[in-house]
Structure 1
Amino acid sequence: MKQTILQPLKQEGLTTSIQQPAMTFFAAGMIGLGVLALTFGDFALVWQPVAAWVPGRTALAYVSGVLMLATGIGLLFRATVAWSVRILFPYLILWSLLKIPALFVAPQIEGVWLGFGELAVLLSGGWVLFARLSELKAGSKLASISGDKGVRIAKYFFAIWVIPIGLSHFIYLKETANFVPAWLPFRTGWACLTGAGHIACGLAVLFSVIPRVAAMLEAAMIGAFTLLVWGPAIIAKPRDRFAWTAFFISWAIGSAAWVVASNIATKRSVLMDE
């Protein structure tokens, strides 16, 4: 029987009650980015580094906006979710590939690893949704990256690339501290604490030490950053394109981490399945 969004994810002992909220927030992030692309006729600034000399850049930006908006909406409905993840997953792969050249051109700059790490977390969430909800036919050539195996690969991919996000807090300590809300004391301490938290979460998922809790904490940290940093930035400058873009990018990344966390089985759920 085909698995749908409304059926339990039996293989991992998970239920829709956990899966669906995370996916809804993920969809909202993609919808927000799509609306911004269509509003400004451009890509997501530094997060989608499409050079100005690329032919038809504006047209491509509109296509990108329509795709994010359509697939985001598609994730919200059972009838369209399979096709949405089939389209969104390769799009997120292509998006991440735009950052690959920088890793070879300037590997000594931690910022490029941070940039790819952020998109890798976003891709991980899309990968998990693809693995769970694409409803591929038996014998599909993509079977090796879907189902339970695909979820496991996406989980480890997520874990590895969360680590450079944490390292950036220490390498760019002053800049990170400046992002901490001014009303919080010990801003440098918060920057170090969250940096260590990202690294710890990545290692915990990578080595299966309470991985689901760790991934949930990662999602919570990114979510708190979204609300405490970019939320006030939007209120202060409601017409600032950068603030809105950063808000929805951060929202989508945090939601992607939540999607990954929601699909990591606990020992109890595995035992219950057995």
Structure 2
Amino acid sequence: MLGFSTVCFGIACFLQGDFTIFWQPFPEGMPFRQPLAFLSSTLLVLSGAGLFFSRTRRIAAITQIVLFLAYAASWLSVFRSVQPWLGIAEHLATVAGAATVWARLSPESARLWHFGPTVARIAYGCCSIVFGLAHVVALEGTMSMVPAWLPGDAMFWALFTGAGHLAVGIALIVDRLAILATRLGSLMYLCFAAFAWLPGAVTHPDQWLRWAGTAITLVMLSALWLVGDYLRLSRQRNVE
């Protein structure tokens, strides 16, 4: 799933012809900005495709770790004008998911099993806390993403999903029902993609930013699911 969603994100970025301002806010005056944007999109597609094949999966995971760390760092360029924490957390959450793929395939995997699942769990948990707080801090923006056809008030859904993020984060950090939290959190991301992003992308197919939003939501879904898989495999090893 991470491979497919990353390929989709890369294609959407490539067709936009630049870095996506919502997720890759590199400075406008950055040297070689457009060639680097195309290189970034190409690497997203190639690394996503590489995750489908066992021979390339490890290098693909490393590539994604580097890419999404770079995207997280890009938010530091706008640190003074906006609050970058949500953007940074979105990319670090993806790094946590990609890192689980690398860890499971690393020559040091036997040693990494001792602390890797804990690091991945807490890392994604902290990011999820940021997501939940962002729903409250930027309540109006969150409400604007709620489809009008959903029953109930937009504020209810904004706060409800924010509480969902917080619940997932707390469950991961304190390690209580953590695997279940990753599954329910993934379902929530799927709803975000299907209800908040995809309809606009379908009705405005030339607006690649909407497709990128759909794809990055699926990327975070995949990362959370991978963290859950890593925890599950770790506990199976401990039982054995």
Give the TM-score normalised by structure 1: 0.80
Question: Does 2:141 match 1:165?
Answer: no
Question: Does 2:202 match 1:243?
Answer: no
Deviations 1:60-114 (A, max 9, x none): 11111111111111100112112212222222222222224555x36xx6x4222
Distance 2:103 2:14 in 1: 29
Indicate conservation of the 8 Å contact 1:124/1:256, yes or no: yes
In structure 2, the residue matched to 1:48 is 24
Number of residue pairs the alignment of both structures matches: 239
AA of the residue aligned to 2:10: G
In structure 2, the residue matched to 1:180 is 146
In structure 2, the residue matched to 1:78 is 54
Question: Does 2:103 match 1:131?
Answer: yes
In structure 2, the residue matched to 1:218 is 185
In structure 2, the residue matched to 1:198 is 165
In structure 2, the residue matched to 1:116 is 88
Indicate conservation of the 8 Å contact 1:132/1:151, yes or no: no
Distance 1:136 1:44 in 2: 35
In structure 2, the residue matched to 1:155 is 121
Structure 1 residues 150 and 102, CA gap change in structure 2 (3 angstroms): farther
Distance 2:162 2:208 in 1: 27
Measured after TM superposition, the shift of residue 266 of structure 1 is 8.1
Give the TM-score normalised by structure 2: 0.90
AA of the residue aligned to 1:214: A
In structure 2, the residue matched to 1:87 is 63
Deviations 1:139-193 (A, max 9, x none): xxxx98x444233212211101111111122222232122112111222111111
In structure 2, the residue matched to 1:230 is 197
AA of the residue aligned to 1:175: G
Instruction: Spell out the pairing of 1:4-15 with structure 2 (5 A cutoff).
Output: none
AA of the residue aligned to 2:142: T
Measured after TM superposition, the shift of residue 129 of structure 1 is 1.3
Question: Does 2:3 match 1:27?
Answer: yes
Aligned-pair identity (%) = 27
Indicate conservation of the 8 Å contact 1:131/1:148, yes or no: no
Measured after TM superposition, the shift of residue 119 of structure 1 is 1.5
Structure 1 residues 50 and 69, CA gap change in structure 2 (3 angstroms): same
